[in-house]
Amino acid sequence: MNRGGTTFWIGAILFLAAAFAMTQLIGNQYPFFACYVILQFIVLAIAWNVLGGYAGYVNFGTSAFFGVGVYTAVFLFKSIGAPLVVQIAAAAIVGALMGFALGLLTLRMQGIFFSIATIALTIVIETAITNWRYVGGAAGIQMQQPAPMAPFTSYVQMLFFVQALLVVLAVAISRYIQNSWIGRGLQALKDDELAAECTGVPTLRLKLLACVISGALMCAAGAPAAMYLQYADPSSAFNLNYSVSVLAMSLIGGTAHWAGPIIGAILLGATQQLLTVTISSEVNVLILGVMLVLFVVGAPEGIIGLIRKARGNRGEGEA
């Protein structure tokens, strides 16, 4: 393992240790509720970036994957009372399958056509869930959290820690992709798919892989939301806001580096949480729009781009 890898894993372990210590030391529940939401967005943004950032396929259907994750969990919980781990694992599998199907679509379409296909997919799936009475249908469904597993004393703390684990997993995967042949291949096909194909890059396999990973992570991130809310209804679970927020987070953070979506998700997620309990008005929605426009116009490479530029300027100009 090289030096960068060691530092990364030490960081990951420290992060998990800190998250675990929080659950054992802090009695106040609010930080867990608020941070859970932010962690969830981090996983979603990273997952989106695997396909959207590295491969350049813009997925508008984040909410479709998120919602399927939620409803996989709802279904398993209602039918067999499956524990959280099973819910998440099953959601990841379903997400991977869905990702595979999406990947097959990329065979025939690129660019905005792909994006529109993901919107269509979202609507089709949402309609199906809406008409599925067993999981509550349009009327929604209420569930009750079981007792938390030791050593956690409250369920939300457990969810928080589980979501922190998912963050580490997502970051590790996305970092691995970026630094391996997969990332270079995806970069090549993003720049020019035809050229990449001609030079022997296995574009189809790469695209399928990116779709499967991205889909599995998104669904896995959505699964715990069922137990977090103890309630699910299609219009909340498939809300367009997930798609747009995640897109915004990745772009604001910067899509070229695995750290970009994390920075974006923390920044935007924390801002939203903060605004909810301070301003509490339309301005909240306005912030998302204004930040999105400002960043794509002013800082096309996102915060990561700004940081690189700042470093570059300090060094040797353009280098």
Partner 1 sequence: MKRRTFLGGTIAVTTLGLTSGAGAQQAPIKIGMSMALTGGLAGGGKASLLGTEIWRDDINARGGLLGRKVELVVYDDKSSASETPAIYSKLLDVDKVDLLFGPYATVPTAPIMPLVKQRGMVLIGNFAFQVNSKVGHDMWFNVAPWGPADSWAASFLDLGQKAGGKTVALLAADQEFAQNLALTARDVAKKMNMPIVFDQSYPPTTVEFSGILRALNAAKPDIVYVASYPPDSAGILRAVNEIGVGDNVKIFGGGMVGLQFGAVMENLGSLLNGVVNYNSWLPEPTMFFDGTKAFFETYSKRAPEAKVDPLGYYLAPFGFASGQLIEQAVKAAGSLDQKAIAKYLRENTHQTIVGPIAFSADGERKENATLQAQFRGIVDKNMDQFRKSGKQVILYPAKLKSGELITPFEAARN
Partner 2 sequence: MFSLDLLQDALVSGVLLGCFYAAVSLGLSLSFGLLDVPNVAHPAFLVMASYGVFYLNDKFGVDPLLAGLLITPLLFVFGLVAYRLYYETFEKRGSDAGVRGIAFFFGIAFIIEVLLILQFGVDQQSVTASYIGKAWRIAGMRIPYRLLVAFAVAAGLTILLTLYLSKTFMGRAIRAVAQDQEALRLMGADPIRIKQWAFGISTAVLGISGALLIIVAPVNPTLDRSYIGRTFCVVVMAGLGSMSGTLVTAIILGVVEAVVLTMFGASWAPAISFAMLLGVLAVRPQGLFGRRS
Query: Which residues of this protein are in contact with partner 2, per CB under 8 A?
Result: 52, 56, 58, 105, 108-109, 111-113, 115-117, 119-121, 123-124, 127-128, 130-131, 240, 244, 247-248, 251, 255, 282-283, 285-286, 288-293, 296-297, 300
Binding partner of 1, given partner 1, partner 2, none, CB within 5-8 angstroms per partner class: none
Q: What is the 3-state secondary structure (H, E, C) of the chain?
A: CCHHHHHHHHHHHHHHHHHHHHHHHCCCCHHHHHHHHHHHHHHHHHHHHHHHHHCCCCCCCHHHHHHHHHHHHHHHHHHHCCCHHHHHHHHHHHHHHHHHHHHHHHHHCCHHHHHHHHHHHHHHHHHHHHCCHHHCHHHCEECCCCCCCCCCCCHHHHHHHHHHHHHHHHHHHHHHHHHCHHHHHHHHHHHCHHHHHHCCCCHHHHHHHHHHHHHHHHHHHHHHHHHHHCEECHHHHCCHHHHHHHHHHHHHHCCCCCHHHHHHHHHHHHHHHHHHCCCCCCHHHHHHHHHHHHHHHHCCCHHHHHHHHHHHHHCCCCC
When binding is defined by CB under 8 A, the residue of 56, 140, 148, 202 that contacts partner 1 is 140
Of 3, 144, 317, 318, which lies in the binding site for partner 1, with binding defined by CB under 8 A?
Answer: 144
Q: Does 29 bind partner 1 (CB under 8 A)?
A: yes
Helical pair 203-229 and 181-191, crossing angle rounded to 10 deg: 110
Return the amino acid letter for 27: G
Taking CB under 8 A as the rule, does residue 145 contact partner 1? yes
Integer Cα distance of 65 and 96 in angstroms: 10
Site string for partner 1, 107-136 (x = CB under 8 A): --------------------x--xx-----
Which CB sits closer to partner 1, 48 or 233? 233
Among 2, 28, 200, 314, binds partner 1 (CB under 8 A): 28
Q: Which of 69/302 has CB closer to partner 2?
A: 302
Question: 164 to 203, contacts with partner 1 by CB under 8 A?
Answer: none
Site for partner 1 in 1-20 (CB under 8 A): none
CB closer to partner 1 out of 37 and 186: 37
Nearer to partner 1, 179 or 284 (CB): 284
Binding mask 219-238 for partner 1 (x = CB under 8 A): ------x--xxxx-x-xx--
Tell me which stretch binds partner 1 (CB under 8 A): 73-81, 111-119, 141-149, 287-295.
141-149
| Interacting residue ranges for partner 1, rule: CB under 8 A | 27-30, 32-34, 36-37, 127, 130-131, 137-140, 142, 144-145, 153, 156, 225, 228-231, 233, 235-236, 239, 273, 276-277, 280-282, 284-285
